[in-house]
Amino acid sequence: MKFEAVIGGSKNVETFSKIVHIVSKLCKKKCVVRLSSDEFSFLNTNTVREAFYLDFRIIQKELFVSYNIEGHSQDTNVIFFEISTDDLLQSVAVNESTMEMKLSHINMIPHLVIELKSVCITHEIPIAFILQHNWLDYDPPSVGLASVCVGLPSVKIFHKILNSVKNIGSKTITISTNNNGELYIDGVVDQAKLKVYLHDIANYPIHGANSEEMAAIDHLFSVQLDLRLVYSFMSVLHVYFNQAILKIVDGRVAVFSAKQQSCQFKLFVNGLQGE
């Protein structure tokens, strides 16, 4: 298997660095990189056991000036490997005009080699290839049809709301929304409760939904989430994304997503029991 790529232009290198920083907030120790002919993607490890699933995809033609991959086979031009998030974060530099990366074996151990041209620094990061029969472990979870889909307020505002809930000492957050443009965000501790109400939120259609089976327009769908997990991700998301979309599978899962020209992400967060 082979991989060689070049990110050209300081803006593109900065974008890649920001994305790595965002991913590092959830994938504290390690992450999985999925390389294909058209995407460079970051996934979290141990997706079955963790309370969330992250799929952050970079569109290679938007960020890379050169991109060559020889995957597992001609029919399966894909490479999966696990890498230290800390090592990757330390190897990317914002003030850089060109970043070259390639897969290489050093002392019989596979590495991702990242070369920063202007400062003449080369980082050699050990990786572990993931066998093909384990690739399905990193597919998006099957959560069923969403109950509701809304546009969140700006990421900065949403983060400020989460910060307010965090400041009262709440460890969880309950998000409730409906098809009438209303959004409620609740945090509770023993001696305090904070409820934030937002209105005129954009609603989006759910593909595959049967209009005859839809609930009343003002019916609230809710999910309770680990506040620390959502807060950590939103605390850095605003460096690249202004807006995000939220889908809720009632009582079970929240799916946050956003899309730019050069990248897109989906974050599945499992709901907590006893909501």
pLDDT at residue 119, as a whole number: 81
pLDDT tens digits for range 196-240: 999 999 999 887 665 545 678 999 999 999 999 999 999 989 888
Q: How confident is the model at residue 100 (pLDDT cuts 50, 70, 90)?
A: very high
pLDDT in the model for residue 238: 85
Nearest-5° Cα angle at 191, 227 to 26: 10
pLDDT, one tens digit per residue, over 146-170 is 999 999 999 999 999 999 999 999 9
Residue 148's pLDDT is: 95
The architecture (CATH level 2) of 2-138 comes to: Box (3.70)
- CATH 3.70.10.10 in the chain: give the residue spans: 2-138, 148-270
Strand (E) or helix (H) holding 211: none
- Does residue 4 have a pLDDT over 60? yes
Residue pLDDT, tens place only, 36-79: 999 999 999 865 556 899 999 999 999 999 999 999 887 889 99
List Cα–Cα distances, 12 to 28, 32, 68, 105, in angstroms: 24, 21, 18, 27
Cβ neighbours around 105 below 10 Å, total: 8
Confidence of residue 275 (pLDDT cuts 50, 70, 90): very low
Its pTM stands at 0.91
Which architecture characterizes domain 148-270 according to CATH? Box (3.70)
